[in-house]
Structure 1
């Protein structure tokens, strides 16, 4: 198992889907099954494609910054900062599980909106 390649593939997968091409992302990076733990997205690769196609239609202008990637064994964790329309900002933590062929087969995530005010001067992502 190549954990450095898995990190690169997790970032490429997420970036490609986020920027509007989830079908190609699935073709290149997803294994025979895809288990989804986000309750807002259905299970399986087609539900993932449908979700990101809808996001691209509804929100074509958005940005993502990959702040850090950590891998251990068959897992890769990505920490991202995202800006959506109307200055809506989010920090996400996504976990991807890879099979022995270096393909993504499972996903968990946690999403938190960045508040307008904070009790400290530290960002939520850097």
Structure 2
């Protein structure tokens, strides 16, 4: 298992699904199971596919920047900056667990909207 390859695959998986091809993302990057910890997404691959298809239909003009990718053991963490319609901006931190074949089998995330005002001048990304 290559940490660099897992980081590359986590980003490719996320980007492929985010920009409207969640079925392809699952086929290319997901293992025999897919355990989902985001409470807004049903468990398993079909829940993932349904969620990202719905997001693409409702928000086709969203964008994502991958700010950081960190890998350790069988985990990859991604830190992203997302811009949605109406200039709603979010920061996400996603964790993906990989199996021994280099396929994604589990996902956790934390999502926070970037506030209009901040007590400091630092970005959240």
* TM tier, smaller: over 0.9
SS across alignment from 1:16: helix
Match of 2:54 in 1: 54
- TM-score, normalization: structure 2? 1.00
After TM superposition, the runs of 4+ consecutive aligned structure 1 residues lying more than 3 A away are none
2:64 is the alignment partner of 1:64: yes
SS across alignment from 1:100: coil
Question: CA shift at 1:24, angstroms?
Answer: 0.2
Match of 1:45 in 2: 45
How many pairs were matched up? Answer: 125
Match of 1:27 in 2: 27
State how far apart, in whole Å, the 2-side matches of 1:53 and 1:106 are.
19
SS across alignment from 1:76: strand
2:123 is the alignment partner of 1:123: yes
Match of 2:97 in 1: 97
- TM-score, normalization: structure 1? 0.99
Which digits, 9 at most, give the CA deviation of each residue in 1:40-71, with x for residues without a partner? 00000010000000000000001000000000
SS across alignment from 2:116: coil
Match of 1:110 in 2: 110
Question: CA shift at 1:17, angstroms?
Answer: 0.2
State how far apart, in whole Å, the 2-side matches of 1:86 and 1:11 are.
25
Match of 2:81 in 1: 81
Unpaired runs of at least 5, structure 2: none
Match of 2:18 in 1: 18
State how far apart, in whole Å, the 2-side matches of 1:27 and 1:46 are.
11
